[in-house]
Amino acid sequence: MPRVIRYLLPLIATVPLLGFALFRTSSAVPTEVQRSQLHDFRVEVVSEGLAHPWGLAFLPDGRALVTERPGRLNLLDLKTGKRSRVEGLPEITARGQGGLLDVALHPKFADNGWVYLSYVAAGEGGFGTHVGRGRLKDGRLADFEVLFRATPFTDTGHHFGSRLVFDRDGKLFVSLGERNQRQRAQDLKDHNGSLIRLNDDGSIPADNPFVGRDDALPAIYSWGHRNIQGMALHPDTGRIWINEHGPRGGDEINLPEPGKNYGWPVITYGREYAGPSIGPTHKDGYEQPIYQWTPSIAPSGMEFYTGDAFPKWRGNVFVGALALTHLSRLTVQGEKIVGEERLLDDLDLRIRAVRQGPNGLLYLLVDSSEGQVLRLRPVK
């Protein structure tokens, strides 16, 4: 398929009037060696036949949890590829881009068993992104409780976010899209279009930037975001990094700071899907991205590599691409991106999530109606 068609199809699929039916099935994964600048590797299929897998978390016993957007949570044996269904999930609304999204483990999971989910559920006025947790016991989530609801709800099926990351202080960061209603990202009385910061029990940290203000919601950490679909913790600084979708161009990597406004839709490097510009790229009072992609790659999962399997990749950050169907390897110096290599761009895979797993191997989720869990293994 020509590159221009590969690029346009995912963009067309994001236009609200056309819905979200245009998903390609994943390509067969070749067995030959994949060449790259620093490490050659092979791609292994760990599991397949998943319906739009979205989130991945590794358990201490060598298994993994994998979410499927229609509302299923799987226990995956990484050695055999066998899966079993986890029961005890909350009511989930699978509509448009929404459904069961990310999964994360409590930093003290080995002691308390808490598994955190982000998902879409119905409520007054429509539906919205929720965060809840349950204790993983004997293949089910027990004692499930809802910790957070992104309000107000609406009927649109677009831009839910939503990644979950714990920082070194045990605070839970939740990324949210603006539900394709762009002005909501500039409303501090609206959770959507923001990065949220919570305590592990869902309560509001006392040092959140808008605590005590009548004109803002206290869970908001940063705002002016379009649709954050990748988030990772820097292994050295402990700082949160995010990536977010622009419209036609202007995908961004941002380093959110408390109380700062990241500009959407007042400033953007992107344009309307029909072509006209949306706004300027710079304006006083709004933060600049540290990196941006034009044309759009539709960035999703994000992971800093710290393992031993690919030693020359240490310190690089990996970003999955949904529109231009590749895995970006970004070279980082301090808080700057100084280089990019695009991997797997010949395989036509919509890469939804990137995670470093056991033994320092990289795992990918392929977003498709026949989705896969893939593993990258170095060629010795």
Residues 132-170: tens digit of each pLDDT:
999 999 999 999 999 999 999 999 999 999 999 999 999
Nearest of 17, 8, 160, 12 to residue 97 by alpha carbon = 160
| Residue pLDDT, tens place only, 205-238 | 999 999 999 999 999 999 999 999 999 999 999 9
In Å, what is the CA distance from 56 to each residue of 63, 68, 111, 133, 262? 11, 10, 20, 15, 27
Domain count for the chain: 1
Q: Is 111 helix (H, G, I), strand (E, B) or coil?
A: helix
Nearest of 350, 327, 304, 353 to residue 67 by alpha carbon = 353
Question: According to the model, what pLDDT value does residue 57 have?
Answer: 98
| Residue pLDDT, tens place only, 33-84 | 999 999 999 999 999 999 999 999 999 999 999 999 999 999 999 999 999 9
Band (pLDDT 50/70/90 cuts) for residue 30 is low
Does position 3 have pLDDT exceeding 70, yes or no? no
Question: According to the model, what pLDDT value does residue 32 have?
Answer: 82
Whether the CB-CB separation of 48 and 64 falls below 8 Å is answered with no
| Residue pLDDT, tens place only, 339-368 | 999 999 999 999 999 999 999 999 999 999
By residue range, what is the domain housing residue 45? 3-378
Lowest mean pLDDT among 12-21, 271-280, 295-304: 12-21
Rounded Cα distance, 210 and 100, in Å: 29
Band (pLDDT 50/70/90 cuts) for residue 129 is very high
Whether the predicted model's global pTM rises above the 0.85 cut: yes
Q: Is 112 helix (H, G, I), strand (E, B) or coil?
A: helix
Nearest of 23, 1, 19 to residue 10 by alpha carbon = 23
Question: According to the model, what pLDDT value does residue 11 have?
Answer: 41
| Given the residues 159, 191, 225, 326, the one annotated as active site | 159
Arithmetic mean of pLDDT, 10-17: 39
Arithmetic mean of pLDDT, 317-341: 97
- Measured between its terminal Cα atoms, the distance across the chain in Å is 32
Does position 21 have pLDDT exceeding 90, yes or no? no
CA 21 to chain CA mean position, Å: 21
Side chain identity at residue 345, one-letter code = D
CATH of the domain at 93: 2.120.10.30
Q: Across all residues in the chain, what is the average pLDDT?
A: 93
Active site residue 159: yes
Residues of the chain above pLDDT 70, percent: 92
Does position 17 have pLDDT exceeding 90, yes or no? no
| Radius of gyration over every alpha carbon of the chain, rounded to an integer in angstroms | 19
